[in-house]
Amino acid sequence: MGREIIQIKDLKVHYPIRSGFWNRITDYVRAVDGVNFSINEGETYGLIGESGSGKSTTGKAIVGIEKVTSGQILYKGVDITKASNRKKLNYNKDVQMIFQDSMSSLNPRKRIEDIIAEPIRNFENLTTDEERKRVQELLDIVGMPSDAIYKYPHEFSGGQRQRIGVARAVATRPKLIVADEPTSALDLSVQAQVLNFMKNIQQQYGIAYLFISHDLGVVKHMSENLAIMHRGRLVEIGTREEIYNNPMHIYTKRLLASIPQVDVDHREENKKHRLEVEREFLDNQSRWYDKDGRVFPLQRVTPTHYVALPSDLISKMEEGE
């Protein structure tokens, strides 16, 4: 594993709620409310949560699509929430994004050649021949035919459009790609294909991924380290083995219990486990959330495992109570 490439420190993205005759701010939607994690070179870091958890907002804040309320995004040790630093470090070239909806993220009026070449034109000064050669190489990497450059997005399937989205993200040879639910709209067989060539590209170029998903089953095959997000905060951080083999927060347990099981012999056992998790969640709200329903601060369990629980409860769990 390489050195740290990006560090997120106490990141907050709040949206004002206005009401009354004077349209004054009365409260805030805390979409992201104090998030901390870091990603190393060449690593795939999983950020998991259900819809509305704040995971996609976190990803968009990192690439600059969402405005940061407070906190720091440190790239190579420099805070890029300041626009001058972002430009100086060429951050927009080094950090790219793959979007969930491949159709809406590709301009329907442009040919594939222009769609993939657009980020190249923003940062490099290539001749027409050099540019076309680069686009052809990128299409070849993601398994698309060379004649795709003359076509438009609507002429491809969802899986093919997502491949094109990956090719566009890789075009500037970035150091980090934020992949926001890149396979959620695809069927299982196509999901596997997309994930496999994302891994191949990572190995070839040494790219780091922030892999955002609601599906712990998918993330398991991609990520070495994971962060579970709920209500705008992280509820658990750990290695893949710690999260899957020893989940400690009830929200993590609920996500794991919801993964579909194909083993018919253990169907009743799995159903019973899901019911037990739901009962534990409903009967012990004060154990998992404060009086305002907010997630507790993260507490260290091991050097790599952190859980959002009251510190006294962590001590009891460590003692086996």
List C-alpha distances in Å: 176 to 4, 129, 146, 295.
11, 27, 26, 29
Place 278 in a pLDDT band, splitting at 50, 70 and 90. Answer: confident
Residue 97: name the closest of 217, 16, 181 by CA.
Answer: 181
How high is the pLDDT of residue 243? 95
Place 314 in a pLDDT band, splitting at 50, 70 and 90. Answer: low
How high is the pLDDT of residue 320? 55
Question: Which parts of the chain fold into alpha helices (H)?
Answer: 55-63, 83-88, 91-94, 112-123, 128-141, 158-170, 188-205, 216-219, 240-245, 250-257, 267-283, 285-288, 311-318
More confident residue, 262 or 100: 100
How high is the pLDDT of residue 229? 96
Q: Are 6 and 33 in contact (CB under 8 A)?
A: no
Q: Are 47 and 58 in contact (CB under 8 A)?
A: yes
How high is the pLDDT of residue 14? 96
Residue 56: name the closest of 297, 301, 232 by CA.
Answer: 232
Place 1 in a pLDDT band, splitting at 50, 70 and 90. Answer: low
Average pLDDT over residues 208-215: 93
- Is the pLDDT reported for residue 319 higher than 80? no
- Is the pLDDT reported for residue 174 higher than 90? yes
Place 317 in a pLDDT band, splitting at 50, 70 and 90. Answer: low
Domain boundaries, the chain: 39-64+81-245, 248-321
How high is the pLDDT of residue 130? 92
pLDDT digits (tens, 9 = 90+) for 140-165: 988 899 899 999 999 998 888 988 99
In the chain, pLDDT over 70 holds for what percent of residues?
94
Architecture per CATH, 39-64+81-245:
3-Layer(aba) Sandwich (3.40)
Give bridge partners of residue 299 from the DSSP assignment.
307
Angle in degrees, CA 43, 44, 45, rounded to 5: 110
- Is the pLDDT reported for residue 95 higher than 80? yes
Average pLDDT over residues 255-270: 75
How high is the pLDDT of residue 269? 78
List C-alpha distances in Å: 30 to 14, 188, 222, 294.
5, 34, 29, 10
Average pLDDT over residues 15-24: 89
Give bridge partners of residue 298 from the DSSP assignment.
308
More confident residue, 104 or 124: 124
pLDDT digits (tens, 9 = 90+) for 25-65: 888 899 999 999 999 999 999 999 999 999 999 999 999 99
